[in-house]
Amino acid sequence: MDFETTINKTFSDIRNGADVSESLRAAQERLDQLLQRYRDLQ
């Protein structure tokens, strides 16, 4: 999953009634993991 996919899924979840705080927290965690992978490649 990349940045755009993560953000799109998060917004979709929120539109469909998911808890906003939990959805954003999960997205932040996922994005942190993705960024760490990119950092590790350098």
pLDDT grade, residue 42 (50/70/90)? Answer: confident
pLDDT at 41: 86
pTM assigned to the model: 0.82
What was the pLDDT predicted at 19? 98
Give the contacts of 14 (CB within 8 A, at least 6 positions apart): 20, 23
- Give residue-wise pLDDT tens across range 2-40: 899 999 999 999 999 999 999 999 999 999 999 998 889
Is the predicted pLDDT of residue 1 greater than 80, yes or no? no
Secondary structure class of 7 (helix, strand, coil): helix
Domain regions of the chain by residue span: 3-10+20-41
| Lookup result for tokens 């965690």 | 29
Output the pLDDT for position 16: 98
Q: What share of the chain is helix, strand, coil (3-state, %, to 5)?
A: 85, 0, 15
